[in-house]
Chain A
Amino acid sequence: MHNALKFDLLRKELHGVFMTLGLVAILTAVLFGLVWGIDLAHGSVVFLIPVVIAATRWGIVSAVVAAICGVLASAYFFYEPVYSFRIKDPQEVIDLILFIFVAVAVSQLATRLKWQLEMARQREIDLRDLYAFSRRLAVAFDVSDIHAAIEDHLASIMQRNVVLFASAREASGSGGRRAGVTVPEPVLAEVVEVASGHRDNAAGAMVTTDSGEIWLVRAVSPKSPEFGVIAINLGRESKEHSDELRIRVDAVLADATATLERLGVAHAISEARMRSQTDQLREALIGSVSHELRTPLASILGAATVLSAAPALQKEKKLTALVHDVRDEAERLNNDIQNLLDATRISSDGVKPHTEWADPADIINSAIERCRHRLEDRRLAVDLPPDLPLIYVDPVLVQQALIQIFDNGVKYSAPASQIAVRAHTTDGHMFISVTDQGAGLTTAEKTKIWDRFARGERHAATTSGSGLGLWIANAFIAANGGKVSAVSEGPALGTTVSIELPVTQATVQQLESDADE
């Protein structure tokens, strides 16, 4: 491969030289014609043209060839005696020396310009790669995305097969095949060594495989093991050329890790790992809470209801009261567990509504029915217009949200006060509002009530609760494309909580007219 590269360079050089010779020949022919036709004295300066062209296009060798050919052509064709390389006039000798000097200077300048241009272009490509890389990192969703981005970036810059292993486990578990690249066994072994931290190799280790390929194995960043370990196939290179490549790898990796560190990727990776572990833990906890806590609770509640209805207990007023306490407390515990389960569900994987056409009156009535006991000592005023449009929502989620709002209204209002439920539609939106005559909201509370675990400081001592209710209500309504808002004239002046839901009226009206036979 190295020889092939050299041959390639030589061929490029020769191509330049031949092109230069052609240019000089054409120019000489043109000049020769001009000198004969219009009796021009001589035109050695014109030979600077091929020198500059050759210098900018094909490099210094071609430029020198152009200068020498120019001098020879001038001496042979244009200076006395013509058709001989000898020159009679000393003035013309000085002309030619001057020409050679200018030609060399110009070709030097032109070559340097060309080199700088190429450097600038290369830097631009590098920068563009780096920019694309950063952009990919910025939108990376999880650890594997980040690793894929690092891998692709290195592969495109090095023009070599690059495989990145996130951990020793990944390397030993991959069986050596990754993204269409087969990583030989000894290289894998080295990757495992480096990834598990057994080897201190900041510079990286070279592994030569049975087939003679050289692989470079090193940690992406010696400081941050989160970035993983890369294996780069350097091919069958000579010692000095692979050293060259290795320096280039160092430079690219230094660039890449700088970018990674600037973006705080190391932190993000370890955080993402921790988060996925916490998520798993939480899922396990939800399962165990929902079963381990609710099953005994079902026995307690069930047994309490059997006891409270038992004829033997009917006569014992004190014991009956005690049984009712057991029942009520178990029920409260059950509601708290349900709220926690809902909250975990909302924050772990979001709420997936099962939408259908629903009658808002049905939703409101069933929410009231569910809260019948809690609403018992409040004056309930329900005002629902008979022509409410159907809404396309998950009725159970909207009902749950309403129950939370009722709960909240009861919690912060006095017995015998009024709780009013109203519904109306305006501009394609349905509003369901619940107004209490309770504690109201201060300006500070208005913004805070939607937070998770928000508890009004004014009521912390007098009312119990987890502070999850309105947060859950908000999440359930948001899942249905709506929003919840609260209005209050101020402390002790009552609160109105409104649910706003979108209405797709056109469909329903059309159906209403043609559905019956």
Chain B
Amino acid sequence: MSEPSPIVLVIDDEVQIRRFLRTGFELNGFIVHEAGTGTEAIRSATLRPIDLVIVDLGLPDMDGADVVERIRSWSSVPIIVLSVRSSEAQKVHLLELGADDYVVKPFGMAELLARVRVALRRQMRAVSGEPTVKAGPLTIDLAARAVMLNDKRLTLTPKEYRLLQVLAQHAGNVVTHQHLLKEVWGSIHVHDTHYLRIFVRKLRQKIEPRPDSPKILVTELGVGYRLVQSGQEGDAGSWSDPAPAKSET
């Protein structure tokens, strides 16, 4: 990143976690602010300009979800949630509260950095109004409502385009089933996951080089879908392998 160093606010009550995050981020050219409690974090976020927030869910003074909600009430700063509790329902809840993405503890630094870069890029695009989103061989021009695969224009049905559009607006980040269903089919269909499954299958036939092993429109089991951007793919797995996201109910 050639721009001025992005500032990241790390909110976690574990000193050891803050320490490795600080080192990891600083080695990658970030400026790090730390907070050990929710109150401290919210104060810190209001006082200084911040480009990104990393928040742990188990804070001593308040639930991490409350921190997400409070910060989101006045700021659109990207928020990434760290959680040891990895229930899919909880992830969905956090994303609905306004978190941009989540990483399940334990995680590798590379995985977190990949998520952070996606979130920062999305924020930059939102500020600059950049109308095109690239995902591998796929280019989505949101202004022209055009989708190109290897520079060849694709014909999509209106619902297929709407689905891709919503994913592209959040490119790189996971978008929940509920959000997609609401945006594409309307709020009465938020629980009709099978609509989504069938349309995603059709869409993959058109946009994926190998539809049986999708690399562009990927599934986040139990949570939603993610449009993987160029350069993002592969980042996430660069530490041996991510711990399975297990549901603890």
Please provide the chain A residues from 290 to 348 with a CB less than 8 Å away from any CB of chain B in the complex: 290-291, 294-303, 305-306, 308-311, 327-328, 330-331, 334-335, 338, 341-342, 345
Chain A residues whose CB sits within 8 angstroms of the CB of B195 once the complex forms: 511, 515
**Contact with A302, one of B89, B109, B194, B221 (Cβ below 8 angstroms):** B109
**Contact with B243, one of A335, A386, A394 (Cβ below 8 angstroms):** A335
Chain A residues whose CB sits within 8 angstroms of the CB of B249 once the complex forms: 345, 352, 354
A382 contacts the other chain (CB 8 A)? yes
A372 contacts the other chain (CB 8 A)? yes
Asked whether, in the complex, the Cβ of A511 is within 8 Å of the Cβ of B106, the reply is no
A354 to chain B, nearest CB (A): 7
Asked whether, in the complex, the Cβ of A390 is within 8 Å of the Cβ of B194, the reply is yes
A249 contacts the other chain (CB 8 A)? no
State whether A361 and B240 are in contact (beta carbons under 8 Å apart), knowing that A302-B109, A303-B16, A305-B110 are contacts in the complex.
no
Asked whether, in the complex, the Cβ of B241 is within 8 Å of the Cβ of A373, the reply is yes
Please provide the chain B residues from 40 to 81 with a CB less than 8 Å away from any CB of chain A in the complex: 58
**Contact with A294, one of B24, B106, B221, B241 (Cβ below 8 angstroms):** B106
B209 contacts the other chain (CB 8 A)? no
B88 contacts the other chain (CB 8 A)? yes
| A396 to B16 CA separation, bound complex (whole angstroms) | 30
Asked whether, in the complex, the Cβ of B16 is within 8 Å of the Cβ of A517, the reply is no
Kindly report which residue of chain A lies nearest to residue B223, judged by CB atoms.
A396
Binds A, one of B124-132, B140-148, B165-173, B210-218: B210-218
A217 contacts the other chain (CB 8 A)? no
| A396 to B243 CA separation, bound complex (whole angstroms) | 13
Asked whether, in the complex, the Cβ of B213 is within 8 Å of the Cβ of A382, the reply is yes
| A346 to B58 CA separation, bound complex (whole angstroms) | 25
- Contact string against A for B residues 9-31, beta-carbon threshold 8 Å, 1 for contact and 0 otherwise: 00000101101110110010000
Asked whether, in the complex, the Cβ of B240 is within 8 Å of the Cβ of A365, the reply is no
| A296 to B16 CA separation, bound complex (whole angstroms) | 8
A191 to chain B, nearest CB (A): 42
B157 contacts the other chain (CB 8 A)? yes
Chain A residues whose CB sits within 8 angstroms of the CB of B110 once the complex forms: 305, 309
Chain B residues whose CB sits within 8 angstroms of the CB of A294 once the complex forms: 84, 105-106
A34 to chain B, nearest CB (A): 91
Chain B residues whose CB sits within 8 angstroms of the CB of A233 once the complex forms: none
B164 to chain A, nearest CB (A): 15
- Contact string against A for B residues 230-244, beta-carbon threshold 8 Å, 1 for contact and 0 otherwise: 000000010111111
Asked whether, in the complex, the Cβ of B240 is within 8 Å of the Cβ of A331, the reply is yes
- Contact string against A for B residues 196-238, beta-carbon threshold 8 Å, 1 for contact and 0 otherwise: 0111110000000001111000010110000000000000010
Chain B residues whose CB sits within 8 angstroms of the CB of A341 once the complex forms: 246, 248
State whether A373 and B17 are in contact (beta carbons under 8 Å apart), knowing that A309-B27, A516-B159 are contacts in the complex.
no
Please provide the chain B residues from 92 to 112 with a CB less than 8 Å away from any CB of chain A in the complex: 105-110
Asked whether, in the complex, the Cβ of B240 is within 8 Å of the Cβ of A328, the reply is yes
- Contact string against B for A residues 373-384, beta-carbon threshold 8 Å, 1 for contact and 0 otherwise: 110000000101
Please provide the chain A residues from 351 to 400 with a CB less than 8 Å away from any CB of chain B in the complex: 352, 354, 356-359, 361-363, 365-366, 369-374, 382, 384, 386, 390, 394-397, 399-400
**Contact with A334, one of B106, B177, B247 (Cβ below 8 angstroms):** B106
A39 contacts the other chain (CB 8 A)? no
A210 contacts the other chain (CB 8 A)? no
A157 contacts the other chain (CB 8 A)? no
Chain B residues whose CB sits within 8 angstroms of the CB of A296 once the complex forms: 16
Asked whether, in the complex, the Cβ of B248 is within 8 Å of the Cβ of A357, the reply is no
A194 contacts the other chain (CB 8 A)? no
Count A-B contacts at CB 8 Å. Answer: 160
Asked whether, in the complex, the Cβ of B105 is within 8 Å of the Cβ of A298, the reply is yes
Asked whether, in the complex, the Cβ of B194 is within 8 Å of the Cβ of A290, the reply is no
Asked whether, in the complex, the Cβ of A372 is within 8 Å of the Cβ of B198, the reply is no
Chain B residues whose CB sits within 8 angstroms of the CB of A345 once the complex forms: 248-249
B193 contacts the other chain (CB 8 A)? yes
Chain A residues whose CB sits within 8 angstroms of the CB of B212 once the complex forms: 361, 382, 384, 386
Of listed B17, B24, B213, B240, residue having the most chain A CB within 10 A: B240
B4 contacts the other chain (CB 8 A)? no
| A298 to B24 CA separation, bound complex (whole angstroms) | 14
Asked whether, in the complex, the Cβ of A357 is within 8 Å of the Cβ of B197, the reply is yes
A512 contacts the other chain (CB 8 A)? yes
A508 contacts the other chain (CB 8 A)? yes
Kindly report which residue of chain B lies nearest to residue A387, judged by CB atoms.
B201
| A469 to B179 CA separation, bound complex (whole angstroms) | 35
A405 contacts the other chain (CB 8 A)? no
A403 contacts the other chain (CB 8 A)? yes
Chain B residues whose CB sits within 8 angstroms of the CB of A357 once the complex forms: 193-194, 197
Residues of B within 8 A of A (CB): 14, 16-17, 19-21, 23-24, 27, 58, 84, 88-89, 105-110, 157-159, 177, 193-195, 197-201, 211-214, 219, 221-222, 237, 239-249
Given contacts A330-B106, A345-B248, A515-B195, list 17 more A-B pairs with CB under 8 A: A295-B105, A298-B107, A299-B20, A300-B106, A301-B106, A302-B17, A302-B20, A302-B21, A303-B20, A310-B23, A331-B241, A352-B249, A354-B222, A358-B197, A365-B219, A371-B241, A396-B221
Q: List 21 A-B contacts (CB under 8 A).
A: A291-B58, A295-B14, A295-B84, A296-B16, A301-B108, A302-B20, A303-B16, A305-B239, A310-B27, A338-B243, A341-B246, A356-B177, A362-B197, A363-B221, A370-B241, A371-B241, A374-B241, A386-B212, A390-B194, A396-B222, A512-B198
Per CB-CB distance, the 8 closest pairs between chain A and chain B, nearest first, are A357-B194, A373-B241, A299-B16, A305-B108, A298-B106, A362-B219, A306-B24, A303-B20
